[in-house]
Amino acid sequence: MNGGGHLDRSLRLPRFKSGLLKEVGLLGLAASGAAILLREQIDKLKRARAERLDARARNPNRAIAFIERHVPRRLGAVMTVVVVGGSAAFGVVAGGHVDEAIAALDDTRNALANAAGFGITSVTVNGRTQLTQDEVLAAGGVNGRSSLLFLDAASVRDSLKANPWIADATVLKLYPGALQIDITERLPFALWQENGKLAVIAADGMVLTPYVAQRFASLPLVVGKGAETRAKDFLALVANYPVVNSQLKAAIFVGERRWNLRLKDGLDIRLPENDVGLALASLVKYDRENKLLSRDITAIDLRLPDRLTVRLSEEAAKAREEQTKKSSKKAGSA
């Protein structure tokens, strides 16, 4: 106050001390916070180390310990199921049991469907004459364990058509438990012989059955490779000539090119490769004029268009030879 400045210094000193104290307090708080954070970080590191040590103690293999720490829980159980299932599948395939496994699965699901009320309670089969109902159902793969729910109509139809007797089929599923099957059967047309074996064939050449039951004994017989597919047209042509057709025992396809006819009395008729109808018409004409088919001959050759050649039986040949000798003697004595 008196100009020396003592009063001013005394007033500024308390202000300076107050600001310094505030700064010291803030620094203390910051240090305390840093210490707390540091302790938390140290505790976290200690826990992590303890976990690693514990994992090593339980499993000394580091790789496995790593997997145990980082792989999701229950994955091991899932992988076990996958491995066991894969091993089972491999065993089924390698052991050749795929069909049995599929059949078992089908039986299981069909059993469930049947229990739910979708069993096949009635079956109608229309159009059958040669096959029994059981044979039709067996051909379609339908059995007592089948359920209508899981029955594949298209698959059943394909299986039915694979049977040589069945030309076409329709399969209808009528819920809850009715099955209707309509089939178109092939008709037995002829007996076909090749390499000494007989089979019943349809008109289209399809082999219906490899054996011959007595009920098919009256069917016409065709013989030779390729005869089964050419028989329909050829036998229809022969049917136009009743004199020949009524005595026909077998039609023989020669070299897959032409036909021979074997009549019931053993007479062989050799037909040309082309113009078979003209050759048969000529044969009928000769028979009408000369009773050719009633004579003692063993073969008639019609392969040449401008002539007919016959071969006599042994008896007829001897008789003709003797007749020729007698005629020669008479001519010499005269």
User: Is the pLDDT at 272 greater than 60, yes or no?
Assistant: yes
What one-character-per-residue DSSP string does 163-211 give?
Answer: STTEEEEEEEEETTTEEEEEEEEPPP-EEEEETTEEEEE-TTS-EEESS
What does the pLDDT look like over 190-227, one tens digit per residue?
999 999 999 999 999 999 998 878 889 999 999 999 99
> What is the domain partition of the chain in residue ranges?
117-185, 190-325
Share of the chain above pLDDT 90, in %: 53
Please tell us whether the domain made up of 190-325 is placed in CATH 3.40.50.11690: yes
Instruction: Please give the Cα distance from 165 to 202 (Å, whole number).
Output: 9
Helix/strand/coil (H, E, C) string of 116-168? CCCECCEEEEECCCCCCHHHHHHHHCCCCCCECCCCCHHHHHHHHHCCCCEEE
The chain-wide mean pLDDT, for the chain, equals: 80
User: Is the pLDDT at 133 greater than 50, yes or no?
Assistant: yes
Give the domain 117-185 fold. Answer: Ubiquitin-like (UB roll) (3.10.20)
Q: Indicate the pTM of the whole model.
A: 0.63
How many residues belong to the chain?
Answer: 334
